[in-house]
Structure 1
Amino acid sequence: MSILSGSSILVTGGTGSFGKAFIRYALDHLDPRRLVIFSRDELKQYEVRQIFKDDPRLRWFIGDIRDERRLARALHGVDYVVHAAALKQVDTAEYNPFEFVKTNVLGSQNVIEASIDAGVKKVVALSTDKASSPINLYGATKLTADKLFITGNHYAAAYDTRFAVVRYGNVMGSRGSVIPFFKALGDQGKPLPITDLRCTRFFITLPQAVQMVVDTFDLMQGGELLVPRIPSMKVTDLAHAIVPDAGLVDVGLRPGEKLHEEMISPEEGRRAVVVQDGKYFIIQPDLASWGYTAPADAVPVPEGFAYRSDANDQWYTRDEIAAIVESAI
């Protein structure tokens, strides 16, 4: 049984793709005493309320993580926090950098401060592969947020609150996923635009992402950055799994886009271990004034280790990709 079972949980950005999947999992498997959905869009909250038929365990707070006072009110009596709220579009960030800093960086600081003040036990923040060796503003703001949450444990050392981060790649079936975009083009008989025919990517399903967050709450001491050990896939294989006979057009990498994705840089690899029989990597904190110790089952990674989608030792086949795509549509 998870430590989340029967507890009071708050999810920032709770009306997004991850939030909806987490709500379903929590209601079905965790039986929370109270599940607080904190987000800024009243229309999305209304739509999600209809999905879950106003389940009495759910509470709905309109608010923005930029507003620390509103966060403080919403966090009253909360045991655990899932921080999923963020601005995420890479190209949008390049044109609106101040807004991304306000939400992804300052908003994350507000979550940290308000959680400590409210006596929250544990906070898990969602990150992205783009935070590893970032080359765009979005990735830079998420790397900063990651460091705030990890080092927030120093700030909270005299308190009971602990922070950890989960980092994963693209999510199949999430809002903005390439799957419905490619499928719509295929239905129209149009070729599929591929940023570069050599591209490789990490993909994770929404259920995998939710399970990873739940697992993190159970295993974390504070200061961990968890990365799932998952197969890579070629973007061309993904495209043909969605539309088998589609033509592919190489349109070139967009500004700020990588040819291959990275979830653990060589510098981070020096602090990485494998846990749970290879299910997850943990990037351990540099310094841990709050008393962090390595998990009993931790196995160090090889010297010079980095985790990139093109150098992975696990790969999805086209048939496996097609099965995942079918379940995500």
Structure 2
Amino acid sequence: MHQDGIPTSGPGLGVDVDGEEITLPAPPVGRPPDLRVVAVDMDGTFLRTGSTYDHPRFTALRRRMRAAGVRFVVASGNQEAQLLSFFPAADGLAPDGVVSDNGAIVLADGVRILETCAPMGALERALAVLDGGGPAFIASGPDGAYLRQAESPEMRELLTFYHPDYRYVARTTDINGQRVSKIALVDERGFEQAFLDRLQAALGGAMVPVVSGHDSVDLIVPGRHKASGLEVLLAHWRLGRGQVAAFGDSSNDAEMLACVGYGIAMGNASRVARAAARFTAPSNDDDGVLEVLEAWFPAD
């Protein structure tokens, strides 16, 4: 369920839409004077392999970012509850903004300011396709997530890691009528195009499938993605795109990387993410986000 695509051969290389290699420079050495927001994807970006990060190092950075008047935003396809679990408020790490479920749900300063749900008819059609076998899935929305009891123990563990606020349902049809923002599908064999075409036809454009890895597809509300969620936050805070630095590694980060003043692809980023970014940072396993932020917010 890792949200990402194809790694390239080195930290300074990106590939444009025609497949031609391009070189991305490192971010500015000094903090951009207009910087007011830092937004990060989680899996493959802020988090190392194994879903960890250096808490003491980031704690010190958060203090310096606050002192400089720079907000911290987490933007991910994962559930709000899962994202907040990485940043305990008691430790002073709670993000100023959260964009979850690929932009369908937005939290600003601890308050939900956006909840977007799929039309009930589209949800019913999608569930009818999924009820006939096929991939494991979890449906997530403002009231939590819904997981079929029939999923294998391995899939339960995987899906509930990314969606810890969940409840079981006995039948797929029991999800009908619930508020659902996103359906996350997982199939370790990968997804055949014929299945995706059948699903897309059933949805009629009311939800759209977005491939987030060989074994992962998210069904999302069209027009809702990390960039649109970030725009909601910026409007709330009366800030502009040019005042934002965003870090990402996958195709579902591309809109966010392209729309901000300082779009930064990780050294392990997919081709699509690299093509959308202006700069590159070390990989997630080399703590690339923290490396850049420490250069921008040095200790006294």
The two structures have a TM-score, normalised by structure 2, of 0.34
Q: Which has the larger radius of gyration?
A: 1
